[in-house]
Every structure is written in C-alpha cells, then in structure tokens.
A = this chain, B = another copy of it.
Amino acid sequence: MYLEKVNGPEDIKKINKQDLQILADETREALIHKISNAGGHSGPNLGMVEMSVAMHYVFDSPKDKFVFDVSHQSYPHKILTGRKEAFLDAAHFGDVTGYTNPNESEHDFFTIGHTSTSISLALGLAKGRDLNKNDENIIAIIGDGSLSGGEALEALDYAGEYNKNLIIIVNDNDQSIAENHGGIYKTLKALRESGGKCANNLFESFGLEYKYLEDGHDIEKLVSLFESVKGIDHPIVLHIHTIKGKGLAYAEANRESWHAGGPFNVEDGSPKFGDWTPDTTVFDSLVELIDNNEKAVVLNAGTPMGLGFVEANRAEYVKRGQFIDVGIAEENAVAMSSGIAKNGGTAVFGTFAPFFQRTYDQMSHDLCLNDNPATMLVLQPGVYGMNSNTHIGMCDIQMFAHIPNLIYLAPTTKEEYQQMFKFATTQKDHPVGIRVPGSFVSSGEKDTTDYTIYNKNKVEVKGSKAAIIAVGVMMQMALETAKKVKEDTGVEITVINPRFLTGLDEALLNQLKEDHQVVLTLEDGELMGGYGQTIASFYGDSDMKVKNYGISKAFHTDYDADKLLAENGMSVEQLVAYIKQYI
C-alpha cells in the first residue's frame, strides 16, 4: 500500500521506480471508487493514471508547473497531490472540484474547464518564468480532441517560435468526447501507426521538436521519456498514446458513453440510479428539420450529445451529410453556418452557452454583419445551466442581444421553442438565436405565433398597477407571483413574455404607462448588461418605476439555482412583497 503514504509528489519520489505501477493501481482504485459512487469524467481520468504518477515522479511540482487542458483529466493528479481523501472517503467527495483549482492546492495553477487553453496558458507561465529569470519546467497536458480548437492551434504556432523550456504532452487516446473530426486526426493516426515516424509530422510542421511514446501506460517508459526532457531549453511535443477508460473494460470499449457520467456499478458499468431520460425536444426539432428539408444541416462542435445526437442515432444523418461535427471548433462552426446560409442551405449550429463565448467575433462579424439566416441554438444558458464557474453561461444575453441584425429569442415553453425553431429555420431574413433551456415546461397548446413580427411581446396575463416581464424560464415564477398577488390583494397584475431579447415592444411598453406604476423584469442570467436594463433605460425619464432582477456579477459556482435566484431577490415571496408596495 503506497497511496496511503503519498501526501504529495515528494512521497512519490521515495518509491522505487519498479513499484510505481503499484501506486498507479492504487490511484486507479481510488479514482474508480469515487467516480463509481459520485460520477465524473471517467474516461479521461482512467487514461491519465500512469502518466500522472510518472509526471510527479520526474518533475518537481509545484516548482515545475503542470497545466491541464480542460482539466477534466486531473483527478489522478489531485489524488497524488494531497487530495486523496476526496477520492477515498465519501464524506470528503465534495472537498474538490472536477477541475484544477488553485484554491485547493499549490499544485494547481488555473481554474479551467474550457478546451484548448493549456498550451497558451503554459506559454504564459513560461514567459513569466523567463521574465523572473527562473528555470522551472512548464508542462502543458492536452488531449488530442482539444487540439482542434483555435486557441490551441494558435498557441502551438507561437510555441513553434518560442525559444525556452516548454513541454507539451499530447495525450492521444484517439477520441474527443465523441470521435475526432478534422484532418489533423489523420496525421495523428499516421503518427501512431508509424511510431511517430510518418511523412508529415503535424507538430514539426508547427516548428516543434517531437518525441513519440506508444504505450502511455508503461510507467518506466514514461519516466524515461520525462527524464529525457526535464530541463530542456526549448519547446518539445511529447506525443503519448493512451487508452481512454483504461482499466475498466466497458469504458475502454464504449469510449463516448464513458467520457463522463453518473455513479455506476463497478462490476458491469450499469448505472446505479437507472438510465437518465433526456428531454428530446431539441433533438426532435432537428430531426424533423433534416428529414423534411434536404438542404438543411445541423452543425455541432465536439458535443453532439448536447443536441441529442448520440452514437446510436447519428450515423445515418452523418452519412447523408446533414449532421456535421467540426471538432471542438466553435469559431469555424459559426462562420461555416454563415456561409451555408449564404449559399442556399439551412444551417443550425448548437452548443452549450459557455462554449458560445468562443464565437463572439464570428457571431458579430462573420454571421450578423453579413445578415445570413443561420440558426444558433444556445443550450442551457443562465442559472439553470451548468453550475460550475468553469462552465458558467450566465452572460449569453450580454454577448448577443446587442449585436445588430440578430434576432435573439427566449422561449418560455416547449411549444414556443418549437414554433421559434420553425420560424428560425424557414425565414431567410436574419440570423436567429434561440436560448434553449435544459428542460421545458409544456403549455399543452401549439404555439402559432408569427415570429416575423419582430419584437412583439406576448401578454400572458393582462392586469394593472404592476407588470412583470419575465425572460424564458423565469415565466413560471412570474405567473406564480401574479397568482399570489391576486390571492392576497384581489388585484390582477400583468405578466409579459418578451420572447424577443434583441428589441423592445415599444407600443406595449408605452401602453403600460396608462395603468401601471411599476414594471419588474426577471431574468435568469447576469443583471448587469442584461435584458432588464434595456427596459429600465426605455422608461428612464418617464414616470414608470422599473425594478430589474437578475444574477449578481460573480463567477458563481456549485450553487443551488433556486437559492441563487432567491439571493438575488427572485422568489415568489420577495416579488409579492415588492409588488404590494404599489397596490
């Protein structure tokens, strides 16, 4: 038993090299203990066990600095750097996050969750080292999937002219979340199959020195490789072949479904809490589109499951050329969508709200300046989206609502989404974005709204004195608040569903002045720069009072959504109390 004595890298260095595999086995066991009980990124971490042991055996963390791309493969590193209790003891599972975190350990340098960031951040650490005339090793660890992102390729290029120590470990398990997409993966395959010796070496063509290791689970070879480059005076790429899911046969065999997931029974990989049944509203809308319009295509950027296209169902659409995965390359996906729409195709691109952050310039310059009618599905934005600060998507309205030509829509029900999607994918006038919540409320009634009448809001409840304008998922709270106000006071207040976030229904807003004293706005994203403030501005020098509710400005993390809303004044009780002042 070595792991119990390992409280940091210094303890690993005391172990005989030939016994390091025992430590690796114990590390994998700790890892499996946690992921099988608490869920997490299974595949990426199982593949990094031996490498993490070898890294800490050879390098001197934290003086030498590891930067993990996405950092969803950093669990073994955490186990080996004083955080093993968070894997061994269920009572401590919550002590660490699923990503590197400088607040947890001096061995972590960045809070990171987006792909393709590690080489660039490592270059920064390296340059900081040089400016301080220090000599530590800087090591980026990047998966093959992350290499398709623009930020990684930009950094790889700059690394090719950088002239000091930088070690780039390409952890190649021949898999992104789903299969890889892009021409560079043909080259990675050729490199693997030729033992690193094929004709065109991607990394050398970026100006970088290169070494290949076929067995990324052979600790002695890993140690030798790392020892051979420790203290190197220029950048080098170590291309290391690993097996995603290593050590669990079912995970090795089903790499996509074992990328990440919930608790499972170790014997056979069966889920502990039954299969999760996803909402298929978005998937159904996409399939209906491409089944009925041969000129339509759905694009995704390395997260096909976000749109409901999983291994079992997407092959047919891929074959038809109507489902495209461009790799983790959101910029290319948005710009391509613009081009497709320009040349007579119907393009829909969808990804999670935090990853849309990578496309601001393409949304503005490539798509909206050119006013091409592509559809953008912004998945799971706001407070009910992913609740880790590494994957927060609270600012989609800030990013997109002000971009000229874009029509940005917020459905409050499943039926509204369906009609908005139909509008977006049949009109030819403008780019359209839709904020897609993680789950839908159903109104039970087909929405037949004509969304070509831009900025037309829907009055859900017509009343007086106070009006609530509620964006998207906040509609339920608005309706409950109105109901409670009526119960308590007998007064019916107005509830408005703006639907359009890129412009105001000025006629309606002016009409409210006649018999309303206050307008409340509710939104599930950040308050500052959001939708509500455009309403406050509209009424700025009128007699209408406006109260904006939204989320405070912070990188919120690991929060309870309803609690965070309440902390920002958004609960039925608080809203009712506020409104009563005006009744």
Nearest CB of chain B from residue A166's CB, rounded to whole Å: 11
Q: Is the Cβ of B183 less than 8 Å from the Cβ of A399?
A: no
B residues within 8 A CB of A335? 117, 120-121, 124, 151, 155
Nearest CB of chain B from residue A360's CB, rounded to whole Å: 4
Q: Is the Cβ of B533 less than 8 Å from the Cβ of A518?
A: no
Contact residues of A between 97 and 117, Cβ < 8 Å to B: 102, 109-114, 117
Nearest CB of chain B from residue A493's CB, rounded to whole Å: 15
- Complex Cα spacing A344 to B138, Å: 14
Q: Is the Cβ of A158 less than 8 Å from the Cβ of B534?
A: no
Nearest CB of chain B from residue A215's CB, rounded to whole Å: 24
Q: Is the Cβ of A329 less than 8 Å from the Cβ of B158?
A: yes
B residues within 8 A CB of A536? 533, 536-537, 539-540, 546
B residues within 8 A CB of A150? 149-151, 153-154, 331
Nearest CB of chain B from residue A231's CB, rounded to whole Å: 17
Closest to A102 in B: B370
- Complex Cα spacing A258 to B399, Å: 36
Nearest CB of chain B from residue A533's CB, rounded to whole Å: 4
Of A5-13, A205-213, A217-225, A307-315, the stretch lying at the interface with chain B is A205-213
Closest to A153 in B: B153
Count, chain A residues at interface, CB 8 A: 120
Known interface pairs A160-B183, A297-B131; A541-B537 also in contact (CB < 8 Å): no
- Complex Cα spacing A364 to B359, Å: 13
B residues within 8 A CB of A321? 127, 130-131
Q: Is the Cβ of B529 less than 8 Å from the Cβ of A401?
A: yes
Known interface pairs A121-B335, A342-B128; A184-B207 also in contact (CB < 8 Å): yes
Contact residues of A between 157 and 211, Cβ < 8 Å to B: 157-161, 181-187, 199-202, 204-208
Q: What are the interface flags for A325-351 relative to B under an 8 Å C-beta threshold, 1 for contact and 0 otherwise? A: 011010110011111111111110000
**28 intermolecular pairs with C-beta atoms under 8 Å apart:** A110-B370, A120-B335, A120-B339, A120-B362, A123-B336, A126-B339, A127-B297, A127-B336, A128-B340, A130-B321, A132-B343, A150-B331, A151-B362, A153-B153, A154-B332, A157-B332, A158-B329, A158-B332, A161-B186, A187-B205, A199-B204, A357-B364, A369-B389, A398-B529, A402-B530, A404-B553, A529-B533, A536-B537
Closest 7 CB pairs of A and B: A160-B183, A124-B339, A150-B150, A183-B207, A128-B343, A120-B335, A157-B182
Q: Report A's interface with B, CB cutoff 8 A.
A: 65, 67, 102, 109-114, 117, 120-132, 148-151, 153-161, 181-187, 199-202, 204-208, 294-297, 321, 324, 326-327, 329, 331-332, 335-347, 354, 357-358, 360-362, 364-366, 368-370, 389-390, 395, 398-399, 401-405, 518, 526-530, 532-534, 536-537, 539-542, 545-548, 553-555
13 extra A-B contacts, CB within 8 A, seeds A156-B183, A529-B533: A110-B366, A121-B339, A128-B342, A150-B151, A150-B154, A154-B326, A158-B329, A158-B332, A159-B183, A184-B206, A200-B200, A358-B361, A402-B530
